[in-house]
Amino acid sequence: MNARLARLVEKCKDRPVRVGIVSMYDVENNAVRILAATLRKQGHHVAEIYFKDWISNHLDPATDDELKNLTRVCLDEHLDVVCFSIRASAYYNATRILTEHLHDVLDVPVLWGGMHPTLVPTECIQHCDMVLQGEGELALAELFDRLRDGRDILDTGNLMFQTDEGIRKNALRPLIENLDTLAFRDYVTHDHKYFVNGKRIEKGDPMHGDPVFQMMGSRGCIYKCSYCYNSTYKKDVYPGQKWFRVRSPASMVAEIKAAKQHWNFKRIRFDDEVFNFQHDWLVEFCDLYPKEIGLPFEVFIEPKLVNEERMTMLAAAGLKNVYMGVQSSERVTGHLYDRRVKNSTINDIADLFKKLGIKGHFQLIFDDPVSTVEDKAALFDMISTFPHPFDLYLFSMTVFPGSELNHKLLESGLISEYDIEGLGTKTFYQHRVNLEYPRPVEDTFWIAMTQMLSKPFVPRQLLRPLTKVEFLKKHPWPIIQLAHATNYVKMGTTAVSMAANGEMTKTLMRRWMSFDRVITT
């Protein structure tokens, strides 16, 4: 092993390890909280460090003050090792800079884990001392238990080590089958949680005070959409294993109750890739949740899983909002993203949501290199049939390393390696679609027209004829200004409603309230 790891082994023998877990640009980070809870349960000392927050289309690199504050936290906590949770590939370069800083200033060993190190571990190990691939709870607990007990660490499963003899890579342990055996995420607020942002260090859990409690009742996904890391995990990282696993409704309810003791949230968002729609599980959940929790909730679903029986059960249990990917036109969604759903199915789902009093939040992807004018018009026409109320979430296409979308576009010559997140950092400035982003003017026209469809105060009988005006497609400035105006109106009414309900928090204002980067919605 290298000198930093050798010192770590000697330093931690016969005592608990003092661990820092850093979340990059993400105060919601589920992984950090569950890893912290797991290691604390094993008797180790854990400092949670939330380094900067995700700001819509405006992710700045670390400042000198932020680097100094990160160093200060590490010194105050007397950390033996620092672990970075790299949830998104765009954070790769930012994490590399922080790692170099900690190596230079503190000479502390650094571990990287998360989606990006799992997908490209050999690239990542060049910059840190250890890389954790795949699920981390059991691997990290074993690593730090071995350090405490004076046992060899170099054959710990899921870990890759930087040694003086070269790279040491170990096999991945099997996936955790029973998710109910895992510790609940730690939402207790105490002096070992930090938010490092700008010139300030704030103590306590940065999520406290948010009106929404976000949690997951499952891991993995049953689908293989080309743009998603799940397809790569299933095929390349954990081939042949059951990737989609589900917690029991009783476990989920118990975690919500435990968190409620420390945090007075008002609704629940189940952040699963797709909410579990297995019939017996759903019956149990819809019986238990309203009795034990009773808060309104929202879920993410996939069109193929929607039917009236399931949605009626969920609506009766308290479902108020549904987030569902539409992505693009029927042709592009099937051809490029490997999601084959007919327009008529999407239209029927939108009508069903209206019937049941559920608000739909439909997710679209723009800036792909294959959509034709006909595709953009077809998407507009489909959305124009949705009954109000509904919201649109417009995303700019992101290409993750190792994804099927990566392979498709790279092999066809439609992108270069610098368009892939990691080397590229498009997420930092164009994740949610902004009309000021430099794209072909006709694309801006269709984005502006499409996003206005979600505003019930904008007459569709006005919008439809405008899509036929060729002059506006080439000179869309009037349409862009109209779209901006509708966005400001919607932002204003939404902000007033949230403020009246006590949901306008400083976190939301920090992330979204900026007139120079207004997103479409």
Cα–Cα distances in angstroms (integers) from residue 113 to residues 32, 42, 91, 120, 130, in the given order: 10, 19, 12, 11, 9
Alpha carbons 422 and 59: distance in angstroms, whole number: 14
Is there a contact between 113 and 84 (Cβ–Cβ < 8 Å)? yes
Q: How much is the average pLDDT of 307-334?
A: 96
Give the model's pLDDT for residue 83.
Answer: 98
**Residue whose pair of structure tokens reads 């004829």 in the numeric block:** 465
In a domain, 50, yes or no: yes
Q: Answer whether residue 70 shows pLDDT above 90.
A: yes
Give the model's pLDDT for residue 520.
Answer: 56
Closest CA to 55 of 22, 83, 90: 90
Give the model's pLDDT for residue 427.
Answer: 82
Q: What interhelical angle do 343-356 and 308-317 show, nearest 10?
A: 30
CB atoms within 10 A of CB 453: 23
Give the model's pLDDT for residue 513.
Answer: 57
Strand partners, 48: 21, 193
Identify the CATH number of the domain in which residue 160 sits.
3.40.50.280
Alpha carbons 367 and 361: distance in angstroms, whole number: 20
Q: Answer whether residue 77 shows pLDDT above 80.
A: yes
Strand partners, 324: 301, 362
What amino acid occupies position 431? Answer: H
Q: How much is the average pLDDT of 40-67?
A: 91
Q: How much is the average pLDDT of 90-98?
A: 92
Give the model's pLDDT for residue 510.
Answer: 61
Q: Are residues 325 and 229 in the same domain?
A: yes
Give the model's pLDDT for residue 50.
Answer: 96
Q: Categorize the per-residue pLDDT at 326 as very low, low, confident or very high, splitting at 50, 70 and 90.
A: very high
Q: Answer whether residue 506 shows pLDDT above 80.
A: no
SS3 93: helix
Q: Are residues 341 and 472 in the same domain?
A: no
Give the model's pLDDT for residue 511.
Answer: 57
Q: Are residues 457 and 488 in the same domain?
A: yes
CB atoms within 10 A of CB 502: 10
Asked which of 139, 161, 194 is the last residue of a domain, the reply is 194
Q: Answer whether residue 502 shows pLDDT above 50.
A: yes
Q: How much is the average pLDDT of 254-265?
A: 93
Q: Are residues 175 and 290 in the same domain?
A: no
What amino acid occupies position 117? Answer: P
Among 175-189, 209-223, 499-513, the range scoring the smallest mean pLDDT is: 499-513
Give me the percent of the chain exceeding a pLDDT of 90.
Answer: 80
In a domain, 104, yes or no: yes
Q: How much is the average pLDDT of 240-258?
A: 96
Give the model's pLDDT for residue 152.
Answer: 96
In a domain, 418, yes or no: no
**Residue whose pair of structure tokens reads 């929202």 in the numeric block:** 298
Among 76-85, 416-425, 471-480, the range scoring the smallest mean pLDDT is: 416-425
In a domain, 412, yes or no: no
Q: How much is the average pLDDT of 142-164?
A: 96
Q: List, for residues 348-399, the tens digit of each pLDDT value.
A: 999 999 999 999 999 999 999 999 999 999 999 999 999 999 999 999 999 9
How large is the C-alpha radius of gyration of the chain?
Answer: 24
Alpha carbons 114 and 86: distance in angstroms, whole number: 5
Higher-pLDDT residue of 82 and 206 is: 82
In a domain, 276, yes or no: yes
Q: Are residues 221 and 161 in the same domain?
A: no
First to last CA, the chain: 51
Q: How much is the average pLDDT of 233-257?
A: 94
Closest CA to 360 of 349, 374, 344, 372: 349
Give the model's pLDDT for residue 82.
Answer: 98
Give me the percent of the chain exceeding a pLDDT of 70.
Answer: 97
Identify the CATH number of the domain in which residue 293 sits.
3.20.20.70
| Two tokens, residue 209 | 């005070």
Alpha carbons 114 and 99: distance in angstroms, whole number: 15
Which residues, 6 or more positions from 12, have their beta carbon under 8 angstroms from its beta carbon? 80, 144, 147, 148
Task: Give the 3-state secondary structure of 5-47.
Answer: HHHHHHHHCCCCCEEEEEEECCCCCHHHHHHHHHHHHCCCEEE
Q: Range of 253's domain? A: 211-405
Residue ranges of E strands in 355-505: 359-366, 390-396
Give the model's pLDDT for residue 294.
Answer: 97
Give the model's pLDDT for residue 516.
Answer: 47
Q: Answer whether residue 226 shows pLDDT above 90.
A: yes
Alpha carbons 495 and 508: distance in angstroms, whole number: 10
Structurally, the chain folds into a number of domains equal to 3
In a domain, 415, yes or no: no
Q: How much is the average pLDDT of 196-206?
A: 92
Which residues, 6 or more positions from 229, have their beta carbon under 8 angstroms from its beta carbon? 115, 119, 400, 402, 403
Q: Are residues 36 and 172 in the same domain?
A: yes
Q: Answer whether residue 505 shows pLDDT above 90.
A: no
Q: Are residues 184 and 266 in the same domain?
A: no
Q: Are residues 46 and 139 in the same domain?
A: yes
Asked which of 144, 160, 194 is the last residue of a domain, the reply is 194
In a domain, 188, yes or no: yes
Mean pLDDT computed over every residue of the chain: 92
The full length of the chain comes to: 521
Q: What is the pTM of this model?
A: 0.92
Q: Are residues 368 and 465 in the same domain?
A: no
Q: Answer whether residue 420 shows pLDDT above 60.
A: yes
Q: How much is the average pLDDT of 478-492?
A: 92
Alpha carbons 371 and 379: distance in angstroms, whole number: 10
| Two tokens, residue 311 | 């949605």
In a domain, 421, yes or no: no
Cα–Cα distances in angstroms (integers) from residue 218 to residues 9, 37, 140, 270, 290, in the given order: 35, 18, 21, 9, 19
Q: How much is the average pLDDT of 470-493?
A: 93
Give the model's pLDDT for residue 16.
Answer: 96
DSSP 460-498: HHHHHHHTT-HHHHHS-HHHHHHHHHHHHHHHHHHHHHH
Give the model's pLDDT for residue 292.
Answer: 97
Cross-sheet strand order for the sheet of 193-197: 166-169, 159-163, 130-132, 110-113, 81-85, 18-24, 45-51, 193-197, 200-203
Q: Are residues 396 and 473 in the same domain?
A: no
Q: Are residues 344 and 490 in the same domain?
A: no
The number of angstroms, rounded, from the C-alpha of 181 to the middle of its chain's C-alpha atoms is 24
Q: Are residues 251 and 372 in the same domain?
A: yes
